[in-house]
Every structure is written in structure tokens, then in C-alpha cells.
């Protein structure tokens, strides 16, 4: 029983981390139908700048803020320089964002050096709680809390505020939104920045979770996010959360019970979904 | 084939090919010869990619997995079996066999998806191959890789040169016929307008799967030759960097032209050769991916026809489809 | 009545490579309803879309309140005070009626609230189905929602594209009546195939044929002119 609870917490934590990354991806895809392959590059920049400022100042909060700001700014640059020239041409978009991903990854090595770096959680989040016989690692609980918070806040914004309504209306009918006097390009840019900010946030969160950062981590981890987005249904926020938790749990349990399969389990999940429900669990036809 | 009926371009290609056979007698520098061999190998790889991107309009980010399959098949077989020419043929057969199986399964499962999904899934799959190669150390030697022995005849760099050149020529003329065949025309129709091709009664999925099997097999042969030329293999043969390399070669040369990717391979490999020489000058040249990535991005935005595509459109005075999107445009 | 609110001068427009509008010129005067007539495929929808900046102006000029709006972007044009009710209504299907209205409302001031109340009184159905998703509304209700969305902001001009299309006669009457009420304080440019409706509320008319304006006049005259009606509208 204790084991199951602790594996579940692990799985939830991993799931929430993946969700944070997938959330930005799915948001950008859902609104702008841009599949941003550079997303992992934004993630890694969030991780490095966040860790750097965390270690410089000793404050994890500062680290998180710096990571998010980096994400927002890089999102702005990416949207302007990389995405905007090729709006409406999927082939160019796909090709170009992958290229930018690798450039972002290599620039990490230029700025921060090519070697991997160790990261430790802030003191307040080190250690664990003991509830009965169950050990709950603080940082994992923290991740779950942040993930839930982001999910709730974004759902609230999307469902309840006018900005959120505009964003959702933009998905359905871009021209009509413009005809109502709304600058959809600006909205797109902001959405892109928010998506990038989320990627960067998950970067710093993941850095502290895994205890080590290296440049290739972005691409590796974003593949998990891709899988989640496919399983959940492209563009569906709740679908991403559900699929992320599913993948997180599957990984945690597989890693413990059938370690040899833990690697393939995500691909397996995705393959099954693709065969039986190509639009994803929560996706619309 | 009736000689008089051959096109002018075919003659040009034959003359260039003959010239290439003389090159190793003129260029005797080892490192230069090696670079040229690499060009041949990557030209094959890039042509196989052109079948997907240029002729069928499929964007795969996982094409490198076939290259890796070829490289590892060769390395593992040569390592486990006797270093004979026979083993080498076995290696080729196994490479082709695995490539066919993998490309077929992946194609059937995923090619009916939209381009985004396909690109994403193939990237994920290639990632899986990379991780698997890193984890399955007993077979692959992991990131450190391993060296293996070759029969005498294949160790000679002169022979290697000829082998790679002959392969390149075979694949070039073979793929050229393939793309000009009725089958190739259907592929191009799919690229232009998938829905319309389907409505004309062609089973688009069948055609796409076959195209990706062909591309997969050719890429695996490129991988075989790559391992052969290095006498060494490591997980780098599955790396995304290679994907970006081959994308750059194909696009800079000109998608949908076959000649373009060869030219692109030449340019990129020479740049590689030259830049790695510069890494002693400044460490920034170690980070050549930044340069490649930037050039690649600029080419995709501003020069989507590539070199050969641009020349063709100038010569024939008609628009050539570069990286155009045949699906419904979303943005303004 | 010489003060023209909207003026198109020899406007041409392309959709992809097709030359759809080949010289559309007309003026909409302040107040009243101007009707654009013409058979199917004549270019009426394209004209409205071009005014809204959803199609690019190839040649010619479009002036609104004396200002050239031909080069502006759609949202800028809308914010000059033009409301648009597209042919397909453009209702956001996943958003409720209330949310549809909220997206449309640029301000939440007294004036907007007043207009909102007025328009809800005009279309009580909207109030009734306030929480229903737009996609679940009937055709008539969608039309009312689309009109309400365009009206709720203080727009000087409303462009309405075939509001009677696909509606039952009794609903058409309702919509006709509502437009008649709106015309009291807003200028309306109406595209309409339903001649009954057009002649009831229209003041002046223009006929578009093959992407060109070919005729103009007062609605009253057109009703008498059987030849013209047959030639361009196919109505005997
Ligand atoms: N997306 C499009 N692509 C090509 N032609 C179009 C497109 N939209 C409209 N057209 C053509 O433009 C012409 C005018 O259409 P439209 O403005 O919708 O006419 P109306 O509203 O008067 O019925 C028609 O001939 C139509 O076929
Ligand atoms: Mg119309």
C-alpha cells in the first residue's frame, strides 16, 4: 500500500511536469495550429536561466521568475522571427521550428558550457513528510501543487475571462474575431508567449526534480510532451492533463515493476491510442 | 534504352559520373578522399529524404532511424561474424529487411495522420531508437560505440570510394526512373493535392507507405556505407543532428530534384570539413550546428526552392513547387 | 442626403488568383438601408468581405467617414465603427450565447449595457437561451445572435449578409422587423436576395453583376422596373 502511494505520487509529479510542457504546446497548437518543435528549446532555456539565477541569488522564487521571463521573451522572439514569416504554411513551419530547436539547444552550450550541471532543490523543499508510514517527498508535492495551480488558473482564464473567450473564439473562427474589432495577431503573440513561458516554467521545475541539466534534455523531454499531446488530443487542455498523468503513472509503475518496458510504455500507449482513436482521447474529429 | 531518346540532362550526368571515377587518381589526400566518400554517402541519404519531402510532401523527423539501422546492422554483423565479404552482404540484407519492416509498420500506422502528427511521431520514434541504442549496451556499445573489422578488400579506401560512387550512381539513376514512372507521378500528385488524388481513386496511403519504404531502404543502405567508411559506430547515427543535416542538404540543394540533395550533401560536407578545421582557431566552430541551423532557417524562409529548384524555375520560366503547403492555409 | 458614410470607388479584389471584383463603386449615405442586389455568385459577399479587410483591396479605394480604410487591417476597420454579420453568421459554436456577446462587447460601459438590453428586448430568444452553446441554436436564433453581436457596440454602419437565407418566413419577418428598428439609429448595408424583405426595408439599392456595380436607384423605382429585375435578379 505504501509503495503504491509513493509510486502514485511519483507518477503524478512526473505527469504534472509533462503537463506543464504539454500545456504550452497544446495551447499554441490549439489556437494557432502551429506545432512548435522549438518548444523543447524554450524548456531548456527556462531550465538553465532559472537554475543559474537560483544559484546566484539562492532564491528559488527568483529562479522561477527568471525562467518564466526568459520563456516569455524567447517566445516573443520566436513568434516574430521564426513563426510569423511562415504563418499558414505548415511544411515550412514544421521544418523551421525544428531547426530553431537545435539552434536554441546549441546556444545553451555556448552560454552555459557543454557539460551537465547538478541542481539541488531549495532547502525548504528538500526532504520529505512522513504521514504514517508513507514518505512524501516535498518537492514532488510541490510539483503536483504547481501543476494543479496552472491547470486551474488556465482553465479559469480560458473559460471565464473575456481574454480566454477571445482565445477560444479565435480557435473557432479567426476572421469573425477580427471582424469584432479584436487584433488577433496580438492575441496570437501573447498566447505564444504564454505557451513559451509555460515551457520555461516546466524547465526549471524539471531541472530541480531530476537534479541535473544538460542541453539535450529539451528535445528528449519534449518528445514525452508530444506523446502526451497526441494521446490527449491536440489542442485539448484537459486531454493533456489526463494524458500527462496517465503517462506519468504508467512510467512510475513500469519503472518499478517492469523496468525493461518502462521506456516503451509511452510509445505503446500512443500506438494504441493512434490505432483506435487517432484524434486522441479528448480530441474532436 | 535507345541512346537517341536519352535526354540531354542524362548525358550531362553520365559525363559527370565518368569524371568522378577519375577523381581518386587526382585527389590523393586521405582526408579529402574521406570527405568525398562522406559526400557520396550523405548524398544517398539526402536523396532518400527527397523522395519523402520533395516528391511526396511527407515531413519525417525520424528518417535518421533507417540510417542508424543500416549502420548498426553492418557494425553488429561484421563484429559478430567473420570479417568477410559474405558477412557484408548478410549485413546489407539484414539492414534492408529491418528497414522494410520498420518503415512499413510505421507507415501503415502513422501516415494517415496529418503532417504535424507524422513529423512529431517520427521524431519521437527516432528518439526511441536513440535511447534504445544507448540502453542496449551489450549490442550497441552505447554512446562510446565500438569498432569492427572489415575484409581487406573493403578496407582499401580506393575500393571504398568506388563502392560508394557506384552506389550513388545506381541510386541516382534508379530513383530518377522511379520518380519519373507513373508511380512517381502519383506521388507528386499527392504532394500537390492529397485530397484530389484520393478522389481520383488512388489509395493515397498505399502510395505513401511504398514511398516511405523505398526511402527507408535507401537510407539504410546509406547507413551501411557510413558504418563501412568509419569502421566504427556509435549512437550518433540516431542523433537529431543528422536529421537536421539531411534536411539542410535536401532543402538547400532543392527539394524534389534529386540532383539538389547531392549538391546539398556536397556543400554541407565541405562546410563540415572546413569548419572542423577551424575549431582550433576558435571554439565557436565546435558549435557548427548553430551556423547550420541558422542557415537552414534562412533557407527555409527565403530560399525554399533551393539551388537546383531556383535554377530550374529560372530556366523553364515556370513556377516550381518548393516547400509549398497544399493544405488549407490557416494564417493570413 | 449628400453626406456619404461609406464610399467604394472602382474597387477590385482577387481571391487567390481569381479576379472576383472588377470595379465596384457605390456610396452608402448616412441613415437608412442600402441594399446590394445581384444574383448568386455576383460578388456581394466578396464586396462586404473586402470592406471588412478580409479580402485585400487590389485596386480602387474604400472610404469610411472620409477616411481611406482600404489598407487597414480587419480589426482596425471594425473599430472605426463597422459591424459585420457574415453570410454564415460566424457564431462561435462552443461558446454560449452570453459568451458570444461578451467577446463582441468592446466596452462594459453604460451605453453598451443599454444597447445590450435593447437588443435583448428585440430578441427575447437570446435571453432565454443565454447559457446555451451557440452551435445548438436554430438558424434564426443564430442570425439574431450575429446581429445582436454586431449591434451591441456603437457602430455607425452595419454590414449584414443575407440575413433571411435559410430561414422560415415567419422568422424572416421577425428579422426584417428588427432591422427596421435598428435602422432608426444606425446605417445599414444589406445584402439580400429575398426581394420582399429587401423592398420592405431598403431605401436605395445597387446591383452587382459579374463583380461590377451595374445599376443603382431608389428601391421604390426598382419595384416598378420589371425589366431590370428580370435582367439582373432573375425575378419576373
Ligand atoms: N474561396 C474562393 N475561391 C475561389 N472563388 C471564390 C471563392 N469565394 C468566392 N468565389 C467566387 O467569387 C464569386 C463571388 O462570390 P460571392 O461574393 O460569394 O457571391 P455572392 O455573395 O454575390 O453570391 C463567385 O463566382 C464565387 O465562385
Ligand atoms: Mg453571398
CA distance A239 to A247: 12
Largest CA distance in chain A: 61
**Chain centre to alpha carbon of residue C222:** 20
Residues of A in Cβ contact (< 8 Å) with C90 = 173, 175-176, 179
More confident residue, A250 or B4: A250
Find, in chain C, the residue whose alpha carbon is nearest to that of A160.
Answer: C99
Find, in chain A, the residue whose alpha carbon is nearest to that of B119.
Answer: A94
Residues of A in Cβ contact (< 8 Å) with C104 = 180
What are the average pLDDT values for consecutive 10-residue runs of chain C, which has 236 residues? 80 90 92 90 94 92 93 94 95 94 90 92 93 94 94 93 90 91 91 88 92 88 79 68
Find, in chain A, the residue whose alpha carbon is nearest to that of C51.
Answer: A179
Residues of A in Cβ contact (< 8 Å) with B294 = 103
Cβ distance of B247 and A263 shorter than 8 Å: no
**Chain B contact for A37, CB < 8 A?**
yes
Cβ distance of A173 and C90 shorter than 8 Å: yes
Cβ distance of B127 and A220 shorter than 8 Å: yes
Cβ distance of C74 and A178 shorter than 8 Å: yes
Residues of C in Cβ contact (< 8 Å) with A173 = 90, 92
pLDDT at site B270: 86
Distances (CA, A) of A252 to A7, A49, A126, A205: 6, 28, 21, 18
- Flag whether pLDDT at B28 surpasses 80: no
pLDDT at site C1: 41
Give the closest residue to A14 by CA, choosing from A172, A199, A139, A190: A139
At B62, give phi and psi (nearest 5°): -120, 15
From the list A168, A172, A176, the residue facing C86 with the nearest CB is A176
State in Å: Cα C45 to ligand 1 middle: 7
- Flag whether pLDDT at B317 surpasses 70: no
Q: Is the CB of C41 under 6 A from ligand 1?
A: yes
Model confidence at B274, pLDDT cuts 50, 70, 90, reads confident
pLDDT at site B195: 85
Largest CA distance in chain C: 50
Number of domains making up chain C: 1
Ligand 1, atom 25: closest residue by C-alpha = C41
Neighbours of B136 (CB within 10 A): 13
Find, in chain B, the residue whose alpha carbon is nearest to that of A224.
Answer: B124
**Which contiguous run of DSSP H or E holds residue A187?**
helix A184-210
pLDDT at site B6: 61
Using CA of residue A93, residue A96, residue A102, residue A103, what is the dihedral sign? negative
Per residue in B119-174, pLDDT (tens digit) is: 888 888 888 888 888 888 888 888 888 888 888 888 888 888 899 999 999 999 99
Distances (CA, A) of B328 to B332, C14, C93, C182: 11, 18, 21, 38
pLDDT at site C9: 92
Judged on CB neighbours under 10 Å (0-12, 13-18, 19+), A28 is buried
Ligand 1, atom 1: closest residue by C-alpha = C15
pLDDT at site A86: 82
Task: Identify the residue among A168, A169, A187, A189 best suited for mutation to test binding to C, counting C beta carbons within 10 A and taking the highest.
Answer: A169
C102: Cβ contacts below 8 Å, ≥ 6 apart: A162, A165
Ligand 1, atom 17: closest residue by C-alpha = C43
Structural domain boundaries of chain B?
29-239
Q: Is the CB of C40 under 6 A from ligand 1?
A: yes
A201: Cβ contacts below 8 Å, ≥ 6 apart: A20, A46, A64, A67, A68, A71, A146, A150
Q: Give the closest-approach CA distance of A267 to chain B in angstroms.
A: 8
pLDDT at site B314: 82
Cβ distance of A178 and C75 shorter than 8 Å: yes
Give the closest residue to C91 by CA, choosing from C148, C155, C135: C135
Q: Indicate left, alpha or beta for C31 from its phi (over 0: left) and psi (-120 to 50: alpha).
A: left
End-to-end CA distance of chain B: 50
CATH code at A2-276: 1.10.3470
Angle between the N-to-C axes of helices A265-276 and B85-110, in degrees from 0 to 180, rounded to the nearest 10: 50
Task: Identify the residue among B53, B119, B247, B299 best suited for mutation to test binding to A, counting A beta carbons within 10 A and taking the highest.
Answer: B119
C204: CATH: 3.40.50.300
Structural domain boundaries of chain A?
2-276
pTM of the model: 0.81
Q: Helices marked H in B181-254 — which ranges? A: 182-192, 194-199, 204-230, 240-253
Based on its alpha-carbon atoms, the radius of gyration of chain C, rounded to whole angstroms, reads 17
More confident residue, B331 or A41: A41
State in Å: Cα C81 to ligand 2 middle: 22
Range of the domain at C192: 4-89+157-233
**Average model confidence (pLDDT) across chain B:** 85
pLDDT at site A62: 96
Residue C131 counted as domain residue: no
Cβ distance of A179 and C106 shorter than 8 Å: no
Per residue in B57-99, pLDDT (tens digit) is: 888 989 999 999 999 999 999 888 888 888 889 999 999 999 9
pLDDT at site A194: 93
Do the strands C157-161 and C82-85 form a parallel or antiparallel pair, or are they unpaired?
Answer: parallel
Is B256:B313 a contact under the CB 8 Å cutoff?
no
Question: Which residue ranges in chain A fall short of pLDDT 70?
Answer: 263, 284-285
Residue C102 counted as domain residue: no
Residue found under cell 570510394? B161
- Flag whether pLDDT at B331 surpasses 50: no
Per residue in C158-195, pLDDT (tens digit) is: 999 999 988 888 999 999 999 999 988 899 999 998 88
| Number of the ligand 1 atom closest to the C-alpha atom of C191 | 21
Q: Is the CB of C86 under 6 A from ligand 1?
A: no
| Most confident segment among B19-33, B92-106, B239-253, C192-206 | B92-106
Q: Is the CB of C46 under 6 A from ligand 1?
A: yes
Residue C18 counted as domain residue: yes
Residue C161 counted as domain residue: yes
pLDDT at site B319: 60
Q: Give the closest-approach CA distance of A83 to chain B in angstroms.
A: 10
CA distance B103 to B90: 20
pLDDT at site C53: 94
Residues of B in Cβ contact (< 8 Å) with A226 = 120-121, 123-124
pLDDT at site B332: 30
Mutate to test the pocket of ligand 1, among C11, C17, C20, C161 (most ligand atoms within 8 A of CB): C20
**Which contiguous run of DSSP H or E holds residue A126?**
none
Residues 128-167 of A with CB under 8 A from C: 162, 165-166
pLDDT at site B1: 47
Amino acid at each position: 500500500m505504501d509503495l503504491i502511494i509513493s509510486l502514485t505520487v511519483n507518477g503524478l509529479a512526473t505527469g504534472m511536469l509533462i503537463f506543464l510542457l504539454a500545456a504550452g504546446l497544446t495551447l499554441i497548437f490549439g489556437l494557432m495550429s502551429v506545432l512548435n518543435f522549438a518548444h523543447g528549446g524554450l524548456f531548456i532555456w527556462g531550465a538553465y536561466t532559472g537554475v543559474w539565477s537560483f544559484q546566484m541569488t539562492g532564491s528559488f522564487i527568483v529562479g522561477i521568475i527568471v525562467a518564466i521571463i526568459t520563456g516569455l521573451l524567447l517566445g516573443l522572439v520566436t513568434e516574430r522571427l521564426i513563426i510569423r514569416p511562415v504563418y499558414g504554411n505548415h511544411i515550412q513551419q514544421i521544418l523551421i521550428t525544428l531547426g530553431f530547436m537545435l539552434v536554441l539547444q546549441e546556444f545553451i552550450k555556448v552560454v552555459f558550457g557543454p557539460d551537465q550541471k547538478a541542481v539541488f532543490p531549495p532547502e525548504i523543499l528538500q526532504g520529505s513528510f512522513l504521514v504514517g508510514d508513507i514518505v512524501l517527498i516535498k518537492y514532488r508535492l510541490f510539483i503536483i501543487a504547481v501543476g494543479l495551480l496552472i491547470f486551474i488558473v488556465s482553465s479559469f482564464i480560458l473559460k471565464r475571462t473575456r481574454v480566454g473567450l477571445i482565445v477560444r473564439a479565435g480557435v473557432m473562427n479567426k476572421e469573425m474575431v477580427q471582424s469584432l474589432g479584436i487584433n488577433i495577431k496580438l492575441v496570437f503573440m501573447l498566447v505564444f508567449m504564454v505557451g513559451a513561458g509555460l515551457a520555461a516554467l516546466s524547465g526549471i521545475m524539471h531541472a530541480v526534480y531530476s537534479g541535473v541539466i544538460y542541453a539535450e534534455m529539451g528535445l528528449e523531454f519534449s518528445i514525452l510532451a508530444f506523446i502526451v499531446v497526441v494521446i490527449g488530443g491536440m489542442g485539448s487542455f484537459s486531454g493533456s492533463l489526463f494524458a500527462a498523468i496517465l503517462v506519468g503513472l504508467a512510467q512510475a509503475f513500469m519503472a518499478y515493476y517492469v523496468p525493461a518496458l518502462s521506456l516503451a510504455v509511452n510509445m505503446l500507449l500512443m500506438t494504441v491510442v493512434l490505432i483506435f482513436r487517432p484524434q486522441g482521447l479528448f480530441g474532436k474529429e | 534504352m535507345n541512346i537517341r531518346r536519352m535526354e540531354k540532362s542524362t548525358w550531362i550526368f553520365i559525363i559527370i559520373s565518368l569524371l568522378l571515377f577519375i577523381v581518386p587518381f587526382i585527389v590523393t589526400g586521405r582526408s579529402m578522399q574521406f570527405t568525398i566518400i562522406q559526400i557520396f554517402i550523405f548524398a544517398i541519404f539526402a536523396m532518400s529524404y527527397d523522395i519523402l519531402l520533395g516528391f511526396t510532401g511527407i515531413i519525417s523527423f525520424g528518417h535518421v532511424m533507417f540510417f542508424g539501422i543500416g549502420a548498426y546492422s553492418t557494425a553488429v554483423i561484421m563484429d559478430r561474424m567473420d570479417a568477410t565479404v559474405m558477412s557484408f552482404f548478410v549485413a546489407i540484407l539484414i539492414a534492408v529487411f529491418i528497414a522494410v519492416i520498420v518503415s512499413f509498420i510505421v507507415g501503415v500506422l502513422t501516415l494517415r495522420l496529418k503532417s504535424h502528427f507524422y513529423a512529431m511521431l517520427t521524431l519521437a520514434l527516432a528518439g526511441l531508437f536513440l535511447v534504445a541504442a544507448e540502453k542496449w549496451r551489450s549490442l550497441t556499445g552505447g554512446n562510446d560505440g565500438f569498432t569492427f573489422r572489415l575484409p581487406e578488400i573493403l578496407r582499401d579506401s580506393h575500393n571504398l570510394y568506388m563502392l560508394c560512387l557506384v552506389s550513388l550512381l545506381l541510386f541516382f539513376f534508379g530513383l530518377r526512373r522511379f520518380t519519373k514512372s507513373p508511380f512517381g507521378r502519383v506521388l507528386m500528385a499527392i504532394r500537390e493535392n492529397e485530397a484530389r488524388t484520393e478522389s481520383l481513386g488512388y489509395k493515397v496511403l498505399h502510395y505513401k507507405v511504398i514511398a516511405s519504404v523505398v526511402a527507408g531502404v535507401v537510407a539504410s543502405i546509406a547507413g551501411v556505407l557510413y558504418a563501412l567508411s568509419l569502421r566504427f559506430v556509435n549512437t550518433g547515427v540516431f542523433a537529431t543532428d543528422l536529421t537536421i543535416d539531411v534536411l539542410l542538404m535536401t532543402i538547400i540543394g532543392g527539394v524534389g530534384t534529386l540532383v539538389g540533395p547531392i549538391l546539398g550533401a556536397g556543400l554541407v560536407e565541405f562546410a563540415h570539413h572546413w569548419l572542423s578545421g577551424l575549431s582550433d582557431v576558435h571554439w565557436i566552430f565546435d558549435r557548427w550546428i548553430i551556423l547550420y541551423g541558422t542557415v537552414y532557417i534562412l533557407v527555409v524562409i527565403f530560399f525554399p526552392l533551393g539551388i537546383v529548384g531556383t535554377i530550374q524555375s529560372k530556366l523553364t520560366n515556370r513556377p516550381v513547387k518548393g516547400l509549398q503547403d497544399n493544405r488549407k492555409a490557416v494564417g493570413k | 442626403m449628400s453626406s456619404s458614410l461609406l464610399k467604394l470607388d472602382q474597387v477590385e479584389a482577387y481571391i487567390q488568383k481569381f479576379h472576383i471584383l472588377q470595379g465596384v463603386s457605390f456610396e452608402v449615405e448616412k441613415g437608412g438601408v442600402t441594399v446590394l442586389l445581384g444574383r448568386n455568385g455576383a460578388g456581394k459577399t466578396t464586396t462586404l468581405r473586402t470592406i471588412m479587410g478580409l479580402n485585400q483591396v487590389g485596386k480602387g479605394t474604400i472610404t469610411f467617414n472620409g477616411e481611406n480604410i482600404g489598407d487597414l487591417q480587419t480589426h482596425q476597420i471594425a473599430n472605426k465603427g463597422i459591424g459585420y454579420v457574415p453570410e454564415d453568421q460566424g457564431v462561435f459554436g462552443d461558446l454560449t450565447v452570453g459568451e458570444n456577446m461578451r467577446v463582441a462587447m468592446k466596452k462594459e460601459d453604460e451605453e453598451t449595457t443599454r444597447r445590450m438590453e435593447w437588443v435583448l428586448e428585440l430578441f427575447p430568444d437570446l435571453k432565454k437561451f443565454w447559457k446555451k452553446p451557440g452551435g445548438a441554436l436554430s438558424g434564426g436564433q443564430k442570425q439574431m445572435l450575429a446581429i445582436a453581436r454586431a449591434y451591441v457596440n456603437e457602430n455607425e454602419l452595419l454590414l449584414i449578409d443575407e440575413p433571411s437565407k435559410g430561414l422560415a418566413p415567419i422568422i424572416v419577418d421577425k428579422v426584417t422587423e428588427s432591422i427596421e428598428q435598428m435602422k432608426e439609429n444606425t446605417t445599414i448595408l444589406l445584402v439580400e436576395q429575398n426581394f420582399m424583405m429587401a423592398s420592405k426595408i431598403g431605401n436605395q439599392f445597387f446591383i452587382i453583376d459579374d463583380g461590377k456595380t451595374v445599376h443603382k436607384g431608389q428601391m421604390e423605382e426598382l419595384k416598378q422596373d420589371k425589366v431590370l429585375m428580370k435582367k439582373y435578379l432573375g425575378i419576373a
